[in-house]
Each structure stands twice: as C-alpha cells, then as structure tokens.
Structure 1
C-alpha cells in the first residue's frame, strides 16, 4: 500500500467503473481532483496492473454535518470486486485514521448510498455514526471524531 497523488492513477482503471454509474459528472470531478493534487491511499493488484483498493482524501473545514474544525473527507473509498475478502478495506481505513491523526484533523467522514450496506457496516464497525439527515442525492453521512471532546471526558 502506498500514498500517491491521484493524478498518477489512470482514469481508465476498472476501480472507477461503479463510481461512474452512481455519480453523474464523475469524470469531470476526477479530473478536477487530479488538478488539485489530492492524495489517495492505494492497494495495488498483482504486478500493479490495476488498483485493488483506494481511499481518496479531501481536507475540508467545518462546520459541516454537525462537525466543527478540520475535517478529512474520504471522498472515494473502494475495493474492487475481484480483490474483496483480503481485508484491503481495513488496511485503507487504518491508513486514513493514521493520516487524520498525524495531520491534526478533528473529524473524519464519508458519504455512502444506502445500497452500499457492506461498506456502511464496515464504517459503523470502526465507530462511525450516521448523521441524522441525508444529502440531497440520498447519500448517508457517516462521521467519527478524531479528537476527544468535553463530552468524552
């Protein structure tokens, strides 16, 4: 696994397929993200022929979805169909948490459609909770504080 700027990833990699189906304008968003030099954690398939899993990170500032301060959005979190079952999602989650802590983020969050039940369950198992309101496109917002609040004392 390695952290790379996403402009190094091929726009033709099969990992992007289902994301293109779920998000109108996905290719424009991907190109914009590449121009912004966003970073991603990547697990490569054998011989680096394709991406087995990835986690794109986007720094933001709150308030957003009940979160304040420095926010780390996992703007794409995906393990390819043929590489499931190898715990790559857990490796990517660990890398995202480490990045969030090391870079001083207050919160980490991700959005997901309800049909992505397996993904949502994984995030909940890692302590993410669901914001009570959905985004206008129907996505759920799953969030987790990375710093203790007064309520945690």
Structure 2
C-alpha cells in the first residue's frame, strides 16, 4: 500500500503557552496534507476530479505525544482506509520522517465529494476511485466507517 507524504512546515504561531504545537493546529496540518493529496489528481492534467468540491463530515484525532516547535517540517502521511459510493475515509500519521516509528498524532477524516453548483453531495467518479485505490489499505483499522 502506498502512502502519500506531505512535508508540513511548523510555524511559530502553531505553539501554545506550553511550547508545543496546539491541538487545534493539527487539524490545519491534516487539511494541508489532504488538499495536497486530493488535488494531485485534478487541475494539472485538466481533470475535473475533486475540483468540484468536497466537505469534511468528521474528524477523529489521537494525540500520541507532544510536538515541539522546530525549523524542520513534519511528515503527514496520508492514505485511504475506505472508499464508498459517495464518501471516503482518509487516515493520517504525523511523524518526523516517512520511516520514523515515533508518531505525534494519528487521525481519520470522513470526506464527502460535493457538487458546489447543486449544493449537494455527489458520487465518487471512476477517475477519483482509480486514484484513491492506489492509496487504499483496507486492512487498516479506521475508528469509524462511512
């Protein structure tokens, strides 16, 4: 199973009063990685996939250990644990390097493709499904299912 690696910079403003990255900031890290992952398929090749929109229906995060500010990025690894007809579950690990066994956070996000013009959810296209299947790990244990 392939994992998508997103190098995420830490910002001075990410820290809280205790000197570590605030728990809410992890959602921004996940968003940056998810957007980069999903939009790899779309605009560059002229594909309309995912460009029409998507919405987050749910997040779950387990904070494993504190992450302190530093000048090197963390890696947000992203993969897919479930592909439904009109939703998908993305899993993440935030760590120092792709090979690192020390994890700062584990998370899952339930994403629903969305038709912005019609203002309603839509089905996952065949092209999107083909792309997502490259990152599918159905043996992974997601905390929730779509």
Q: TM-score, normalised by structure 1?
A: 0.26
Q: Give TM-score, length-normalised by structure 2.
A: 0.27
Q: Which has the higher contact order (CA 8 A, sep 6+)?
A: 2
